[in-house]
Amino acid sequence: MIDKKIVLASQSPRRKELIGVIAENVEIRPVPCDETLPEGIGAREAVEYLSKIKNEASRQCSAPDEIVISADTVVAVNDRILGKPADKDDARGMLNLLSGKTHQVYTGVTISDSKASVTFSEKTDVVFYDLTEQEIEEYISSSEPYDKAGAYGIQGKARVLIKGINGDYFNVVGLPVARLKRELENFIK
């Protein structure tokens, strides 16, 4: 376990739970910032960019001895980023797009203290079954898809829609915990 004071610049309950696996002294402190992406940015670059700006915003409100960790996760199909669905029609469209295909989930993470920072990203390929109209309608009738990128949460009811993954499962949940632990240990050294 990491024993340094960690500030997690995220309001995600999933990230809060996951970071608890590697650090005990964690304070949740999200700071609002402008998350507008530059034009033409790819999915991997987007998550790294967003994790950096979230980290910079949080760093301004942090003590010099605190380590700040920020993250951002996106779902992408052919490098097209799928955000959180606005409504049922949007969720339906996203799930139809994902149906029967392999897509990517990217999470960018930035670690900083008052002297340095490091940013990395992780990619996981996720394969969806061919979804029936009934499966999509049942899923979008739940409350689950509306606060999640790509309109699904792998850890919830959507697990029955997913044929397989190649990569880190926890990256799809929102935080690549195993890699974060190693990156954090190297950062502290």
Question: What residues act catalytically?
Answer: 72
Cβ atoms < 10 Å from Cβ of 136: 21
- Which of 129, 51, 178 is closest to 139 using CA atoms? 129
